[in-house]
Structure 1
Amino acid sequence: MLRIANCSGFYGDRLSAAREMVEGGPIDVLTGDWLAELTMLILAGNRLKGRPGYAPTFLKQLEQVLGTCVDRGIRIVSNAGGLDPAGCAEAVAELSGRLGLAVRVASVTGDDLTGEPELLDGAVNLDTGERLPAAPLTANAYLGGRPIAAALSAGADVVVTGRVTDAALVTGPGIWRYGWRPGDHDALAGSVVAGHVIECGCQATGGNYAFFGEVPGLENCGFPLVELAADGSSVVTKHPGTGGLVSVGTVTAQLLYEIGSPRYLGPDAVARFDSIRLEQQGPDRVRISGVRGEAPPDTLKVAINYLGGYRNTMTLVLTGLDIEAKARLAQDAIWSRVPKDSFEQVHAELTPLAGAALLRITVMDPDRAKAGRAFSSAVVESGLASYPGFYGLTPPGDASPYGIYWPALVPAAAVRPRVVLDGREVPFSVPAAASGPSPDAVPVTAVPPAPLADAVSPAPGGEEGERGGTAPVDGGGPVDRLPLGTIMGARSGDKGGNANLGVWVRTAEQFAWLTGHLTAGRLRELLPATAGLRIERFELPNLLALNFVVHGLLGRGVAASPRLDAQAKALGEELRAAHTDIPRALL
């Protein structure tokens, strides 16, 4: 058994988490995930300002635990290297010297493709089929776990990476400990699933859980760890005495987070999420088993960011009567001072509140001056000639740059990971058998945008509106009009410009009804913001779950999205609050 702990789910997570995981109980490997699509853009901005291109908070955490980890033989693996893994590794070495510790530090690089124009020229957007129109600010391939395993096998105490898959932080140590070969697809896929569960920290232990009332001590939520076995199965748990909850429900919620098809592609293996089996083994212990794997695709995903222009947002508060009429008047007053059509993009969003509403107006344009004070001052100037009760939440300000996220593919063979330990390169190569064509692999060629249609996979039937369950769509008996969240959990998030929305129920009877009731068409009715967008629906009967991918909801990615909920984090809760007719027998 290999005990792998997580101490960070994002750049900005709890600083005390590393110490809590090291001191709270036995672990073999301490991992942390600092990177997201948006984080790479943030780090690029930091680097342009002369700041580190890595996450300095990692060093603060490390200072608290490095000595203890050395004493206990705990290995540390982190992607906090961001855009500068080598620089981060140097900083770790300096820290260890200052602490009087003998620590071997490795860096994993090769993910940065900004110096490979022949690979990126005209890169095809995976979501839209468009070709890359501008020079990239960042371009990072998602590496797998084998470079991490090579570093650990060479004797590294600390491994710092750049952009690897989040799951690679678990798969890499698994390869190191158990010697999995490229063809050990099931074991590798099992480790990918385990890594996906703990990558977001407390989201696996009750954080952000739909049924949060069931979670004890959430204010002191413990971080997760997995006990990884040689066959790739694992047990998700947390240290005793910490708050939170590890249950089939909390693990299911995290499994559904930011996924697409049940065939979860990665550089080490394709994990079949429709084969996962979950079992509650005891308090705060959930076993994951049965995961089937397939050969990885012969391409790697690349996260590209480029400068899209400048944006500015002003937020007004509307209260009392005639909210919609006031919103129209407010906008008319603003556009009379600065023409609406003078901006490249304008987005107005009216968010109802109790007895009030927020009117958010965002403008985007290549011209910083136009999107800056020229816009925000026009909003302020309307303050005495607009709707009654006028007041705003944002002072007039300048525009800020925004980035556009561009997902693409490159041949895996064209990317060369590099492992450096204590300043010397570790001989390393990805075995030739590690990759091969996958049925889901998308060729790097221009493809037209997908038509407005619904895809249902892998459920039988496949046409939008067809139900996969065996129960009548309306339950065949008395119904009560209630929020969907009465029986259904949800977790949502961003996948580039798309939103992922996973939902689950607790019984087979509820799932049979849900598969027939919650079609993509019904989803559009319950969530008006998704109207007119392409929606894919996937069934995971093994988890009593459905997963929806809403294409284009977030526009050009989180950094460019003008939505108040730019990462679609609240989309699942919006759906749970929507009322529908639920069979009384299921309550």
Structure 2
Amino acid sequence: MSAPVRIGNCSGFYGDRLAAMREMLEGGDLDYLTGDYLAELTMLILGRDRLKDPNLGYAKTFLRQAEDCLGLALDKGVRIVTNAGGLNPAGLAAALRELARRLGVAATVAHVEGDDLIRRVDELGLAADPPPLTANAYLGAWGIVRCLDAGADIVVTGRVTDASVIVGPAAAHFGWARDDFDELAGAVVAGHVIECGTQATGGNYAFFTEIDDLDRPGFPIAEIAADGSSTITKHPGTGGAVTVGTVTAQLLYEVTGGRYAGPDVTARLDTARLTQDGPDRVRISGVRGEAPPPTLKVCLNTLAGFRNEAVFVLTGLDIEAKAALTRRQVEANLSARPAELDWTLARTDHPDADTEETASALLRCTARDRDPNVVGRAFSSVAVEFALASYPGFSLTAPPGAGQPYGVYTAAYVDAGLVPHTAVLPDGTAVAIDAVTPTRPLEPLPEPELPHPLPPGPARRVRLGTLAGARSGDKGGDANIGVWVRTDDQWRWLVHTLTADAVKELLPETRPLTVTRYVLPHLRAVNFVVEGILGRGVASGARFDPQAKGLGEWLRSRHLDIPETLLEATE
């Protein structure tokens, strides 16, 4: 088949726009429609659902979308692939069959399983104290391919890599072999771009003011060709935009260096080239692939204890003294000290402010402990009972309540051959999917040759974001910040200026941490991995911005000396 396969995506997370499935099916032609519903935090949420009811553990919103759109998808000949099965793909597949029967439509449903390792944590050396609630390996695309080859209209998976729901349809459509690594890598890159939904069409985009219509951005489409190259686009008439910038931003999201490893292939992000190929069309070409590593990543979520927080509003004068008094009073009067007690003072106050809100700072106290009673009433009552006995103007943003459970995410790695990968076909036949061979241990790329720096000249101290875009995100306790510019001269300045040490100076919170820089010349980008800035992950709530989504924007807001010649070109 020489014509590209058109794969649309209608979900980037559990909670994304419910109407997106219908919008994508009605908006234009598609061959496949995919949906990504899983994230590290989502697996914890689904794990808690399964504790309450063993028949749950999947993304219930997908079932609601299917009830609305299953008949439409079948009428249009669009096949659906989704990881909404979460911790219970067999359960979601059964629910879809029952839904099809109730709707009176003939839909064939298959699913992929084997990723759930929770019953094997001791055997695989994944045990911890407390024991994990979920343990799921990231599977690849070949189980999806087998289900599609068997004629499935809908394929439901558990934890596969986010891009796999796109790679599977492309590999099935073109009949790629397991060692067609360049083609697979191209599909992985296209999948990485569209799996987060509207982040590819202008959502969360650094230069969002340049996009005319962002009120309701359309969801993205990848037109993948037989050689693995692709064009990213969206349905006509939908909001947002597809530009080299929006695609670059998404390519940099939650990655590390030039090698982007997965269970089927390691994609070389440093080889990807982007070209604007018309309005709302960006071509991705040149992507090279290598054999995948011999291990699979495993997502472990543990219910680590209970957390609570109180946020005190400090207004006007003597902010530091008010914060110190509050901290002394709370800590001196706790009947039991929590295992963790974190204080953060956010100086949101302005001098001589013309509103009370802008004259106020926020003092946040977060308590964590394995005992819910320690962070429950014992903590909350102390935070409240000083309302008439503390600093002038005492108030809380809200009364603290009972302690809530929180989780901790950790990543582990196991030999791919030890993880079952099973395609359960529409007729119920279970087919084992072999691990990919050959494999190649993952190694970082050597530092590429850098362009010559700009000649010295006059500079002006302005915000980094005057020239540079950024996108940041979380990976467990770590965060990444991808930074890019749009011209060759800007690149010559950026790559010699924005070093790991420079990031530490600009972002003081990162100074005690390990910051590693990776250079991606074809994207005119540098990517930074900041280790440990998110503590034990998003579910533990260790930081004001627990998923590091704003970290890149903070960096863009910082001032540094930028050559006048670059600034003049933007004015």
TM-score by length of 1: 0.92
1:344 equivalent among 339, 343, 351? 339
Report the 3-state secondary structure (helix = DSSP H, G, I; strand = E; otherwise coil) of the residue aligned with 2:22: helix
1:356 aligns with 2:368: no
CA contact (8 A) 2:309 2:400 kept: no
CA contact (8 A) 2:290 2:440 kept: no
1:62-77 → structure 2 map (5 Å cutoff): 62-77=66-81
1:173 equivalent among 165, 169, 185? 169
Say which is worse superposed, 519-528 or 198-207, in terms of deviation.
Answer: 519-528
Partner AA of 1:518 in structure 2: L
1:523 aligns with 2:476: no
The whole-number CA distance in structure 2 between the counterparts of 1:363 and 1:261 is: 35
Say which is worse superposed, 66-75 or 254-263, in terms of deviation.
Answer: 66-75
The whole-number CA distance in structure 2 between the counterparts of 1:576 and 1:397 is: 36
The whole-number CA distance in structure 1 between the counterparts of 2:446 and 2:363 is: 41
The whole-number CA distance in structure 2 between the counterparts of 1:469 and 1:349 is: 42
In the other structure, the counterpart of 1:196 is: 192
Report the 3-state secondary structure (helix = DSSP H, G, I; strand = E; otherwise coil) of the residue aligned with 2:187: helix
In the other structure, the counterpart of 1:218 is: 214
CA contact (8 A) 1:122 1:133 kept: no
The Cα offsets for residues 82-111 of structure 1, whole Å up to 9 and x where unpaired, read as: 110000011111111111001100111100
The Cα offsets for residues 106-134 of structure 1, whole Å up to 9 and x where unpaired, read as: 111100001113443256xxxxxxxx443
The whole-number CA distance in structure 2 between the counterparts of 1:412 and 1:182 is: 15
CA contact (8 A) 2:261 2:442 kept: no
CA contact (8 A) 1:492 1:572 kept: yes
In the other structure, the counterpart of 1:390 is: 394
Query: By how many angstroms is 1:457 displaced?
Result: 6.0
Report the 3-state secondary structure (helix = DSSP H, G, I; strand = E; otherwise coil) of the residue aligned with 1:567: coil
In the other structure, the counterpart of 2:203 is: 207
The whole-number CA distance in structure 1 between the counterparts of 2:298 and 2:141 is: 16
Query: By how many angstroms is 1:400 displaced?
Result: 1.0
TM-score by length of 2: 0.94
In the other structure, the counterpart of 1:479 is: 459
In the other structure, the counterpart of 2:239 is: 243
1:545 aligns with 2:540: no
The whole-number CA distance in structure 1 between the counterparts of 2:200 and 2:176 is: 26
1:277 aligns with 2:248: no
Report the 3-state secondary structure (helix = DSSP H, G, I; strand = E; otherwise coil) of the residue aligned with 2:112: strand
The whole-number CA distance in structure 2 between the counterparts of 1:260 and 1:167 is: 16
The whole-number CA distance in structure 2 between the counterparts of 1:111 and 1:536 is: 31
1:290 equivalent among 281, 286, 289? 286
Report the 3-state secondary structure (helix = DSSP H, G, I; strand = E; otherwise coil) of the residue aligned with 1:254: helix
Query: By how many angstroms is 1:330 displaced?
Result: 1.4
Partner AA of 1:336 in structure 2: A
In the other structure, the counterpart of 1:445 is: none
Partner AA of 1:305 in structure 2: N
Report the 3-state secondary structure (helix = DSSP H, G, I; strand = E; otherwise coil) of the residue aligned with 1:235: strand
2:474 equivalent among 494, 504, 523? 494
1:7 aligns with 2:6: no
CA contact (8 A) 1:469 1:513 kept: no
Say which is worse superposed, 388-397 or 273-282, in terms of deviation.
Answer: 388-397
In the other structure, the counterpart of 2:35 is: 32
Query: By how many angstroms is 1:47 displaced?
Result: 1.6
Query: By how many angstroms is 1:356 displaced?
Result: 2.2
In the other structure, the counterpart of 1:576 is: 556
The whole-number CA distance in structure 2 between the counterparts of 1:355 and 1:482 is: 26
1:19 aligns with 2:1: no
The whole-number CA distance in structure 1 between the counterparts of 2:213 and 2:248 is: 20
The whole-number CA distance in structure 2 between the counterparts of 1:457 and 1:533 is: 22
Query: By how many angstroms is 1:460 displaced?
Result: 5.0
CA contact (8 A) 1:5 1:27 kept: yes
The Cα offsets for residues 343-388 of structure 1, whole Å up to 9 and x where unpaired, read as: 2111112223243222111011111101111111111111112222
The whole-number CA distance in structure 2 between the counterparts of 1:179 and 1:140 is: 28
> Unpaired runs of 5+ in structure 1?
124-131, 441-455, 462-467
Partner AA of 2:139 in structure 1: L
Report the 3-state secondary structure (helix = DSSP H, G, I; strand = E; otherwise coil) of the residue aligned with 1:419: strand
The whole-number CA distance in structure 1 between the counterparts of 2:44 and 2:192 is: 22
> Unpaired runs of 5+ in structure 2?
349-357
CA contact (8 A) 2:150 2:426 kept: no
The whole-number CA distance in structure 2 between the counterparts of 1:558 and 1:526 is: 23
The Cα offsets for residues 528-555 of structure 1, whole Å up to 9 and x where unpaired, read as: 1112000110000100001000000011
1:105-504 → structure 2 map (5 Å cutoff): 105-122=109-126, 132-338=128-334, 342-353=337-348, 354-422=358-426, 424-430=428-434, 433=437, 435-440=438-443, 458-460=446-448, 468-471=450-453, 476-504=456-484
Query: By how many angstroms is 1:80 displaced?
Result: 0.4
The whole-number CA distance in structure 2 between the counterparts of 1:477 and 1:536 is: 29
- Pair 167,119 (structure 1): closer, same or farther in 2 beyond 3 Å: farther
RMSD: 1.6
Report the 3-state secondary structure (helix = DSSP H, G, I; strand = E; otherwise coil) of the residue aligned with 2:263: coil
CA contact (8 A) 1:182 1:431 kept: no
Query: By how many angstroms is 1:437 displaced?
Result: 2.9
Report the 3-state secondary structure (helix = DSSP H, G, I; strand = E; otherwise coil) of the residue aligned with 2:71: helix
Report the 3-state secondary structure (helix = DSSP H, G, I; strand = E; otherwise coil) of the residue aligned with 1:155: coil
The whole-number CA distance in structure 2 between the counterparts of 1:9 and 1:358 is: 32
The whole-number CA distance in structure 2 between the counterparts of 1:4 and 1:478 is: 49
The whole-number CA distance in structure 2 between the counterparts of 1:86 and 1:243 is: 36
2:536 equivalent among 537, 542, 556? 556
CA contact (8 A) 2:425 2:431 kept: no
Partner AA of 2:343 in structure 1: A
CA contact (8 A) 1:333 1:385 kept: no
Query: By how many angstroms is 1:161 displaced?
Result: 0.5
The Cα offsets for residues 202-237 of structure 1, whole Å up to 9 and x where unpaired, read as: 000000000111112211210001001011100000
In the other structure, the counterpart of 1:451 is: none
CA contact (8 A) 1:8 1:33 kept: yes
Query: By how many angstroms is 1:563 displaced?
Result: 1.0
Matched positions, count: 554
Percent of residue pairs identical: 57
The whole-number CA distance in structure 2 between the counterparts of 1:270 and 1:460 is: 18
Query: By how many angstroms is 1:303 displaced?
Result: 0.2
The whole-number CA distance in structure 2 between the counterparts of 1:394 and 1:261 is: 42
Query: By how many angstroms is 1:427 displaced?
Result: 2.6
Report the 3-state secondary structure (helix = DSSP H, G, I; strand = E; otherwise coil) of the residue aligned with 1:231: coil
The whole-number CA distance in structure 2 between the counterparts of 1:581 and 1:470 is: 18
Query: By how many angstroms is 1:250 displaced?
Result: 0.1
The Cα offsets for residues 254-289 of structure 1, whole Å up to 9 and x where unpaired, read as: 000000121000001000000000000000000000
The whole-number CA distance in structure 2 between the counterparts of 1:439 and 1:262 is: 11
CA contact (8 A) 1:3 1:227 kept: yes
Report the 3-state secondary structure (helix = DSSP H, G, I; strand = E; otherwise coil) of the residue aligned with 1:312: strand
Report the 3-state secondary structure (helix = DSSP H, G, I; strand = E; otherwise coil) of the residue aligned with 1:430: coil
1:93 equivalent among 92, 97, 104? 97
